[in-house]
Structure 1
């Protein structure tokens, strides 16, 4: 009985210790130390510190913080009274090195010698300066950790004689940069969905076009199948796990892929604009070089070089936090637009499968993986923000990033940028593109497209609210997928088009001629003889039988195209669409 009671007491003691440790970690906060030189010189500068408010609270405003002399005592770990200076630390903030003793032992010695605060310099990752409740009640001065790199920067910038003030301004719930991210994300989804839908239908109407215009050279769209979705998700999971374990080795592979894909996307977005300019129509002279034997336009070659140059400039200066994020966002938006134009979901069934599978993927790697990893960190957040112990200190470029506009400890210490992954744009964007194509086919005045885009914006706002309330990384698809899927499905149900919307059969039904089909896409129509009139009836209507002329042979009753020697043409389904599943646009 006594043994059981002792075992139970031991278990309770361990639980209590774990609770205290967890409480210390939760109470840990970021703060700032404002450093100025005593001899004048450069303007003051803020540095990040990690402190525990249970030792002593820091003022919220710099004007209310005391500016005290900093004493460089980093040659000592301050673990015993012998490590104290002869005259103590009267009204000073000593800088001491981390050692083998506890934080309580250090701060008790510093407080006993007259110090007004304690900064512990760490060459390793900053950890919470924890203790227990009795120790917290005994100590009345703040204790914080400062990185060794920041200490070197302080002495290099301000010299050895400096003053410092410790403070911790209140963290804003949301930063103003969220407005910029919201505009970029919603704008990319709306523009990409609109472009993908319009381009897809336009190419269907132009599939019999014989000129050599730019429409003929656009990339083919790729229809996504359920097998492709499964393979894609497995690849995403594998790559994420590999990045978590081999981040420093694979991050450069991802950077190289991003440079190649983003330059291609930028060219794809700018080339249609350049082709509409009435300049630079000259072509490369006749030659036998690969690709150049097609005699591409000189302006297109210059544009390709420009896109590659922009990508290379970002690759070289990607770690310049002052301006490199602008290039990364521009290249990222171009990549997303190119992907939305190229990848096509043929049915709402495929949209639902893709979004639900990635919904589970996102939630699992953000909320579930902390229970499976030794460090207790989320695999998704760890990979997206870059591991803290990474030797390369590189960041993955597959995100939109905007620097924080509010001056806060979080911006200075942990996350100077707000991030939104490309997947949170592309996955709902594919559904928006499908809605736009369906709108055009059923002539619904873009009601599906507008509703799905608005639902995406609402889902993104809900994501930002969850981020502000929970103060931790959020899986955006947790909020975006229900908003977009439920809105699209409810609208189709309300309009009594759910069957067509689910199977995509609206693309193959006999619909009236769409106003999106350009009336003069092929130029002026040549006049034909009255004998060829049966070939000019409106699409979707069968040709009325007419007796063959008596003066002509029987074979001449077959309608002829304007081109000489053209083969007989089979009747087309309405709006130039072949019956059955929607085919990809032809080149």
Structure 2
């Protein structure tokens, strides 16, 4: 009891609790913003993929991550004084693009329109310049954490997973990568230092710069840090789960309402919705962070966060999906349904000219086709689900 009495206050003390809240909030908002939860958003995503503006994560990408990340980390460790400036430039440019692309949607949700393109660009540039100017000051962490949140949101919008298998394999690869470079590399270096920790904290730097690719929260003993990769990599899976929840709700056979703008909305109140995979993963991620901090307290050493985040995020989702007999559906993805939606999209384009002839008849025709499409897609999803359950 005395040990727990001493330990528990440290578990929720500054800066660990603020850092945990920051990571969970960024993960929740970024995955919510990045997820394509409607038929229209999925159509836009297919167009983005066709135009090369988005990357579909595959198992090859998942395995290749380990190789590329290892080479990048070794390079940062060996030539940190040079590559730190490359990381500053990359982070600044990525943050600028992220804010510029996010501002129109943020302003729209606030009821302020989408803003003017030039003003959005100017604001984005000034914010990044403010960070760059203050990057070595005591308040730099505020700018860096805000820019990091926007950057993660954009990355999750660009890196999309078509199924649960690819991001899970990516997390397993990152799990091995994190453990190796934190726990194994001290036995391979002459100084006995962890390559991961040295590269992330800038311990090998002799110039007055810091690596910007992490969240920072100040504390009396220094700073608490969490790498952006510890949010992005689980975020790819969590984004897919948000999309999966939307599809399962959309095609659950409930009553549909045709909206004025031609969308289909399932008429279900929030209390009648089932427990989602997205929320399960978010809570598991939060638990994983707490376990990471507990390990840091007991060992008094830096810990590979993915060692704890991966099992805490993936296992609860897999258990819930297995209980619902939906694991095969999530694991294999929505390939057949996406193909059917693509065919429906091409069919709708054929009616576009007909709809222009009469606004009233066109609206009626669109509403009728949307309702018919919903029924057909529900049937297809039910068929795919029943086939995967039987496997």
TM-score in terms of structure 1 length: 0.52
Deviation per CA, 1:446-479: give whole Å up to 9, x if none: 6111111100000111011111111111000000
* Aligned equivalent of 1:393: 208
* Aligned equivalent of 2:294: 465
Q: SS at 2:35's partner residue? A: helix
* Cα pair distance change 1:359/1:335, threshold 3 Å: same
Q: CA deviation at 1:316?
A: 2.2
Q: 2:246 aligns with which of 431, 440, 444?
A: 440
Counterpart contact for 2:131–2:143, Cα < 8 Å:
yes
| 1:231 and 2:48 correspond | no
Q: 1:301 aligns with which of 118, 123, 145?
A: 118
Q: SS at 2:360's partner residue? A: coil
Structure 2: how far apart are the matches of 1:208 and 1:234? 29
Q: CA deviation at 1:494?
A: 0.6
* Aligned equivalent of 1:258: 91
The structure with the greater share of residues assigned to helix is 2
Structure 1: how far apart are the matches of 2:208 and 2:363? 74
Unmatched tracts of structure 1, length 5 or more = 1-171, 210-214, 282-296, 512-521, 543-572, 581-587
* Aligned equivalent of 2:267: none
* Cα pair distance change 1:527/1:185, threshold 3 Å: same
Q: SS at 1:526's partner residue? A: helix
Counterpart contact for 2:36–2:42, Cα < 8 Å:
no
Q: CA deviation at 1:503?
A: 0.3
* Cα pair distance change 1:303/1:381, threshold 3 Å: same
RMSD, aligned α-carbons:
3.6
| 1:246 and 2:79 correspond | yes
Structure 1: how far apart are the matches of 2:111 and 2:87? 38
Structure 2: how far apart are the matches of 1:177 and 1:533? 53
Q: Which has the higher contact order (CA 8 A, sep 6+)?
A: 2
* Aligned equivalent of 1:358: 174
The structure with the greater share of residues assigned to strand is 1
Q: 1:482 aligns with which of 311, 315, 340?
A: 311
* Cα pair distance change 1:534/1:309, threshold 3 Å: closer
Q: CA deviation at 1:185?
A: 0.4
Aligned residues: 334
| 1:269 and 2:84 correspond | no
Deviation per CA, 1:296-327: give whole Å up to 9, x if none: x7x12111111112112211220002x11100
Matching of residues 48-63 of structure 1 within 5 Å: none
* Cα pair distance change 1:576/1:373, threshold 3 Å: same
| 1:318 and 2:135 correspond | yes
Moved over 3 A (4+): 172-175, 198-202, 205-209, 218-221, 275-281, 522-525, 528-537, 573-577
* Aligned equivalent of 1:539: 373
* Cα pair distance change 1:432/1:372, threshold 3 Å: same
Q: 1:527 aligns with which of 354, 361, 367?
A: 361
Structure 2: how far apart are the matches of 1:532 and 1:278? 27
